[in-house]
Amino acid sequence: MMRDTLSRREDRALLKALRELARTRFPNPDRKNCPGTSVLHAIATKRISMVDPAHEHVARCSPCFRELMDMRRTLQRRRMFFWAMGTTATATVLFGIWLTYFGSRGPDGTVRPPVARSESPSESSRAVQPGNAAQTPAPTPPPQPNEALLDLRNASVSRSVGSLESNSNMPPIEIHRGLLALTVQLPTGSDVGLYEVEIRDSNQQPIRAARGRAEFQNGITKLLLNVDLQSVRPGEYEFRWRPADLSWRSHQILVR
C-alpha cells in the first residue's frame, strides 16, 4: 500500500537533496539581477517579507542560495556562542549559592555561628527593615549583539606600505549604535588573514579598536568583528582597516 506522507527521515533526505540541487542547478556566474548582500542578510535575519521577490530569486540562483546558506550558518554559530556564555554565567552563580549554603554548615549538618566582626558607622546606623531578608539576585543574561553589515567592496585597494588611503569621495555608510556583531565586506581583491580595525573621531583619536581574521566566502572577503558602539555619540566617524605591514585604508561611517 502506498503511503500518503513521508517519514521524518525521508523528509530530511528530500530537503537535503533539494538544497544540493539549488546549490548547483541554477548557475549565475555574472550575478545577473542579484539583490545584493544586504538583501540576503535581511532574509537571513528574517527582516524581509516572505512575499518579497528576492525570495523567488534566491530559489533560482545558486550563487545567492549558497551565500544565504553561509550567512545562516554564521548566525547560528554566533547564537550558540552567546548561548554558551549565558549558560556558563548561570552555572557560576548557582555554584556560588551552593558554596554559600553548604559552607555555613559543619560536618554534622549544624549551622556554624557567624564570625563576629566590627561594623562600620555607616553599617550600624543602617535600620533593619522587618521581612526584608537578603535575596540572591537573579543572574543577568549577557546582552545579545545586533547583526550589522559594513559593505566596503567598492572602496579602493592598495598593496603599498605608504600613507593612509582615503575613500572620501564616497558617501558615508550608516551604522546604528549598539553591541554589534559586525560583518565587514572588504574591498574586492582584499587578501584573507589578520586585520586591524580602528574607528576614529573628528580629532583623529581612536575610540574603538579591534582585530579579526578575514575569510573568503562566495567571492567576497569577509571580516567578522564584535564592536561595542553603545556609548558612541551619533555622528560621522572614520573607519580604518589594514592587514599586517600594509598601509591604513579608510572610509567614512555615519553612526546613528
pLDDT at residue number 80: 81
On whether residue 62 sits in a domain, the answer given is: yes
On whether residue 27 sits in a domain, the answer given is: yes
pLDDT at residue number 198: 96
Are 250 and 166 part of one and the same domain? yes
Are 158 and 99 part of one and the same domain? no
pLDDT at residue number 167: 67
Are 96 and 189 part of one and the same domain? no
Q: Which amino acid is at 218?
A: N
pTM metric for this prediction: 0.45
On whether residue 4 sits in a domain, the answer given is: no
Cα torsion through 119, 121, 123, 128, rounded to 10: 110
Q: Are strands 165-166 and 193-200 parallel, antiparallel or unpaired?
A: unpaired
d(CA 152, CA 188) in angstroms, rounded, equals 8
Ordered DSSP codes for 170-229: SPPEEE-SSEEEEEEEPPTTPPPEEEEEEEE-TTS-EEEEEEEEEEEETTEEEEEEEEE-
Are 151 and 79 part of one and the same domain? no
Give the phi and the psi of residue 155 in degrees, each rounded to 5.
-75, 155
Give the number of domains in the chain.
2
On whether residue 37 sits in a domain, the answer given is: yes
Tell me the C-alpha to C-alpha distance, in Å, between residue 196 and each of 25, 30, 205, 207.
39, 32, 16, 14
On whether residue 85 sits in a domain, the answer given is: yes
Q: Are 236 and 250 in contact (CB under 8 A)?
A: no
On whether residue 133 sits in a domain, the answer given is: no
* DSSP E strand stretches across the chain: 146-151, 165-166, 173-175, 179-185, 193-200, 206-217, 220-228, 235-243, 249-255
d(CA 202, CA 209) in angstroms, rounded, equals 16
pLDDT at residue number 10: 63
d(CA 64, CA 49) in angstroms, rounded, equals 17
Are 80 and 170 part of one and the same domain? no
On whether residue 159 sits in a domain, the answer given is: yes
Closest of 33, 97, 99 to residue 63, by C-alpha: 33
pLDDT at residue number 107: 57
On whether residue 1 sits in a domain, the answer given is: no
Which domain range does residue 36 map to?
14-107
Please list the pLDDT of the chain residue by residue as tens digits (256 residues).
545 555 777 666 666 766 777 777 888 888 888 999 998 888 888 888 888 888 889 888 999 989 988 998 888 888 887 777 777 777 777 777 767 766 655 555 555 655 556 555 555 555 545 555 556 777 888 778 899 999 999 886 554 444 566 666 778 999 999 999 999 999 999 999 999 999 999 999 999 999 999 999 999 999 999 999 999 999 999 999 999 778 999 999 999 9
Residue indicated by cell numbers 593612509: 164
